[in-house]
Amino acid sequence: MGRLALIGRLAVRDLRRRPAQAGLLLIAIMAATTTLTLALALHGVTSHPYQRTRAATAGPDLVAEYGPAGAGQATGRPVPPDARPLIHAPAVTGHSGPFLAASVTLRSRGIAVNVVAEGRGAGRVPVDQPLVTSGTWVRPGQVVLERTLATALGVRPGDKVTLDGRPFTVAGTAVTAALTPFPNMCEAGCMMSGGGPGPGLAWVTPATARALAAPGGWIYLLSLRLADPARAAALAASYGHNRSLTPRASLLIPWQSVRSADGLLVADEQSVLEPGSWLLGLLALATVAVLTGGRMAEQTQRVGRLKAAGGTPGLVAAVLLAENLALALLAAALGLLFGWLAAPLLTSPGAGLVGAPGGPSLTPLTVGLVAALALAVALVATLVPALRAARTSTVAALADAARPPRRRRALVAVTRRLPAPLLIGLRLAGRRPRRLVLSMASATVTAAGIDAVLAFHAMTDAHQVAAASGLANPVAIRDGQVLAVLTVALVALSGLNAVVTTWATVLDTRHSAALTRALGATQGQVSAGLSAAQLIAALPGVLLGIPAGLLLYKLANGSGQLVTPPAWWLASAAAGMLAAVALLAVVSARAGSRTPVADVLQAETA
């Protein structure tokens, strides 16, 4: 027990003595835990807003869509369907409609979009009564837009739009649970849309709907309430087969498929955040490993002091492990907090759903997974140096023979023939080959992330071209935002990793670098050399990241097809990364070698 208390005390004292390093470790792990929290918090969030919308608008359990069919219908005026068989079906307990809806082109400020305009009167109906969220309900000469559509167009109550060329004023915006909001609204009206994003939804007066209904461009919508809403999908299937109940071309949409379509937006974000958090987790691992490895080397030199207090290298390792685990737990807690606070930003998906999602719930599972990630990162990163230190005999540690650089004959022979900066840099960095491998791995992870993002943008660009409606897909916009945040986090963490690695190398090779300068190298040559070594380590990683990133995108996207980004995008990303690595290395090298040569050589013996 006393030993544990000692470890605890030493750990706290050590953390207090090195606040900057502790802070770096914390930030590194926090990046991963926050992202994971966000990813996990998105689970189960989607159902809340949909349920609220359903409750607020008396959402239907089943929507029947009657399209034009039969001779004469395709060209003639709209004819109301005979909905009585369906209305009087035993399982149906309530209905509203059928309402005529015309397919029109809405134009606003130069943007044109397909819209299904449903004709509704001023009175309230028992099932599917849209809830007005701004402005007022529709009156003659006016149109009410579904909220997502209005947001996508940037239209507000009072603005003027045209439907099929005829001018209307926007009376307000409203939400409904009957159909999925723009642009996913392909459950209904897919027959009419010719591909691309689904049409939007709007409401006009019944007279306007009749006036707008063009030959072949109209449907009738019937909303039904069921005795047993849970059976909506089964009933939709059975009614669909029963021609007597549902004559004419018609479509039955159960409310569950609307709910899941709603959730697609959030699901998309999840598919981005989850792999993103693993990437960040890997980077955090590499950063922590380098930081800890460097600390281990310093600590072993101070074993003498601990030895006076009765310590051994094993104790040192235990202290370091304790510190890192404590920091990891703190990072997990902070990640959970920030993730919980930030989640609402991501989970107000459809403006088409009512209200903010009631805060993602932090289930015990989420807390457990996030904590596990943090602890795993800390443990794995600390374990290797800790084990090595534990196995070092105290005598060797005191003689500071722990981890002396091994003679690398091949490296020496090769670097002899290179110009001075490369000779210096490769020999200095080559003293710790494992660290170089970590650098390469980090570069691979970062490049993979960035290239996956580029693949995503390539795909959305291709789709933009295809849609040609001038209107961006809000799903894509939201995904793009999330990806932007993720990319920034990735780049920042990767930059941190580069700085930490170079700094650790500088500290580790301080004596050799000072000696090399005493023998005639300039500070510029040493910095250039260290930078070149980092670059050489990063290059294969960056190149590997290209196929890795595209593979990652394919895996994350599932069904979506892969559009290879243009070569110059990938090349510039790679060049940018390498330039950043080089710059960070130079800056770190300069910062770390400010001490005059004489002082370094005096302080350390041969």
Partner 1 sequence: MNQTPSTQVLRARGLRKVYGREAGLVRAVDDVDLEVAAGETLAVMGPSGCGKSTLLHLLGGLDRPSAGEIWLNGQRVDQMSERALGRLRRDGVGFVFQAFHLMDELTAVENVELPALLAGRSPRAARRRAAELLDRVGLTDRASFLPSALSGGQRQRVAIARALSNDPLVVLADEPTGNLDSEATLDVLRLFEELHEAGQTLVIVTHDARIAATADRLVTMRDGAFVDETRLTGGSTGQLGELAGLTGLDG
Using the contact rule CB under 8 A, the part of the chain among 78-86, 443-451, 513-521, 546-554 near partner 1 is: 513-521
Using the contact rule CB under 8 A, the part of the chain among 211-219, 251-259, 343-351, 508-516 near partner 1 is: 508-516
The closest of 502, 178, 175, 530 to 355, measured between CA atoms, is 175
Contact with partner 1 (CB under 8 A): which of 52, 431, 435, 478?
A: 431
Closest distance to partner 1 from the beta carbon of 400 (Å): 11
Burial 155-170, CB ≥16 within 10 A → b, else e: bebeeebebbeeebeb
Give the three-state DSSP class for 132: strand
Closest distance to partner 1 from the beta carbon of 396 (Å): 14
Q: 376-405 mask for partner 1 (x: CB under 8 A)? A: ----------------------------xx
DSSP state of 69: -
598 binds partner 1 (CB under 8 A): yes
Closest distance to partner 1 from the beta carbon of 415 (Å): 9
522 binds partner 1 (CB under 8 A): yes
Using the contact rule CB under 8 A, the part of the chain among 50-58, 153-161, 573-581, 595-603 near partner 1 is: 595-603
DSSP state of 360: -
Closest distance to partner 1 from the beta carbon of 525 (Å): 7
Half-sphere exposure of 65 (CA within 13 A, CB side): 20
Both tokens of 324, joined, read 């890192």
Residues 401-430 that bind partner 1 (CB under 8 A): 404-408, 412, 416-417, 419-420, 423-424
Using the contact rule CB under 8 A, the part of the chain among 40-48, 185-193, 195-203, 593-601 near partner 1 is: 593-601
Using the contact rule CB under 8 A, the part of the chain among 132-140, 280-288, 474-482, 521-529 near partner 1 is: 521-529
520 binds partner 1 (CB under 8 A): yes
The whole-angstrom separation of Cα 316 and Cα 94 is 74
Ramachandran quadrant class, 596 (left: phi over 0; alpha: psi -120 to 50; beta: rest): beta
Closest distance to partner 1 from the beta carbon of 405 (Å): 5
Residues 525-544 that bind partner 1 (CB under 8 A): 525
* Single-letter amino acid code for the residue at 491: V
518 binds partner 1 (CB under 8 A): yes
Number of neighbours of residue 397 by Cβ within 10 angstroms: 23
Handedness of CA 84, 88, 89, 93 (dihedral sign): positive
Size of the site for partner 1 (CB under 8 A): 33
77 binds partner 1 (CB under 8 A): no
Q: Which residue's CB is nearer to partner 1, number 390 or number 515?
A: 515
β pairing state of 142-146 and 166-175: parallel
Using the contact rule CB under 8 A, the part of the chain among 200-208, 319-327, 490-498, 592-600 near partner 1 is: 592-600
Using the contact rule CB under 8 A, the part of the chain among 122-130, 163-171, 448-456, 520-528 near partner 1 is: 520-528
Return the percent helix, strand and coil in the chain, to nearest 5.
Answer: 60, 15, 25
Q: Which residue's CB is nearer to partner 1, number 487 or number 512?
A: 512
Contact with partner 1 (CB under 8 A): which of 410, 465, 567, 606?
A: 606
Q: Are 29 and 283 a contacting pair, CB within 8 Å?
A: no
Q: Which residue's CB is nearer to partner 1, number 47 or number 602?
A: 602
Contacts of 580 (CB under 8 A, 6+ apart): 495, 498
Q: Which residue's CB is nearer to partner 1, number 48 or number 427?
A: 427
Q: Which residue's CB is nearer to partner 1, number 84 or number 417?
A: 417
Q: Which residue's CB is nearer to partner 1, number 127 or number 436?
A: 436
Using the contact rule CB under 8 A, the part of the chain among 192-200, 320-328, 532-540, 598-606 near partner 1 is: 598-606
DSSP state of 226: E
Closest distance to partner 1 from the beta carbon of 523 (Å): 5
Both tokens of 531, joined, read 């930078």
Burial (Cβ within 10 Å: 0-12, 13-18, ≥19) of residue 110? exposed
Both tokens of 273, joined, read 């955040």
Number of H helices, E strands in the chain: 20, 10
Contacts of 438 (CB under 8 A, 6+ apart): 286, 289, 290, 501
Q: Are 476 and 463 a contacting pair, CB within 8 Å?
A: yes
Token pair 């992202």 is found at 35
What's the gap between Cα 446 and its chain centre? 14
594 binds partner 1 (CB under 8 A): no
266 binds partner 1 (CB under 8 A): no
462 binds partner 1 (CB under 8 A): no
Contacts of 593 (CB under 8 A, 6+ apart): 506, 510, 513, 514, 523, 526, 527
Q: Which stretches of the chain bind partner 1, using CB under 8 A?
A: 404-408, 412, 416-417, 419-420, 423-424, 431, 512, 515-525, 596-599, 601-602, 605-606
